[in-house]
């Protein structure tokens, strides 16, 4: 393995820490590439080497530096950002993690949570826009009117409001330009409880 530049290592750590302070989440590889000028392959190689040297924690998904660990105190929890969910037509969810987002414990209940990046415009009347982060409580049950992350029998996922027409459950978009969705088999993966928007973007 080639020797790694200490200056580049410092650059990566400084960028990750600064990004976390500004956005309260760790940057994705795309954001590291854009922010440091390093290619994703180079940045990933450096992160793995730095993890081996115990300069930070990196498992191929999230990055935790000493600064981030200090910021994420007993008053907050770092939730994994697990890929994307469509607020549009049904689409396959990405399984790659973007990183972590810091959320105060006081805003959460006692359940398990995860975060999803939203794309699409089918939920804009509910105040959920393309690029927002939605905090989801893991559950397989939901009541009519709740905004849910749902997966159908083909493994497609979407973010919609759960509705019922008197005979069956369906997924209702909060945008008149989109149609209701009646999947053959509706599986609830979680209920959306919080939403974060990066106003700096």
- Cα–Cα nearest to 40, from 95, 96, 79: 96
Q: Is 138 a catalytic residue?
A: no
Residue 60 CA, chain-centre distance (Å), reads 15
Tokens of 89: 């037509």
Residues recorded for the chain: 201
178, 142 contact by CB (below 8 A): no
Q: Is 122 a catalytic residue?
A: yes
- Cα–Cα nearest to 49, from 95, 13, 100, 97: 13
Check 45, 106, 111, 122 and give the catalytic one: 122
Check 28, 160, 200, 201 and give the catalytic one: 160
Report the catalytic residues: 122, 160
């Amino acid at each position: 393995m080639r020797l790694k530049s200490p200056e580049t290592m410092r650059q990566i750590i400084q960028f990750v820490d600064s990004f976390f302070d500004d956005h309260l989440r760790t940057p994705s590889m795309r954001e590291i590439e854009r922010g440091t000028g390093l290619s994703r392959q180079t940045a990933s190689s450096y992160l793995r080497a730095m993890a081996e040297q115990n300069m930070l924690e990196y498992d191929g998904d999230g990055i935790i530096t000493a600064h981030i660990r200090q910021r994420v105190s007993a008053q907050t929890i770092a939730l994994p950002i697990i890929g994307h969910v469509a607020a549009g037509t049904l689409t396959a969810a990405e399984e790659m993690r973007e990183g972590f987002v810091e959320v105060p414990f006081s805003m959460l209940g006692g359940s398990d949570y995860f975060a999803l990046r939203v794309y699409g415009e089918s939920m804009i009347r509910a105040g959920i826009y393309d690029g927002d982060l939605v905090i989801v409580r893991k559950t397989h049950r939901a009541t009519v009117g709740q905004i849910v992350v749902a997966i159908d029998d083909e493994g497609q996922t979407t973010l919609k409001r759960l509705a019922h027409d008197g005979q069956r459950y369906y997924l209702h978009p909060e945008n008149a330009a989109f149609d209701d969705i009646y999947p053959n088999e509706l599986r609830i993966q979680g209920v959306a409880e919080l939403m974060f928007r990066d106003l700096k973007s």
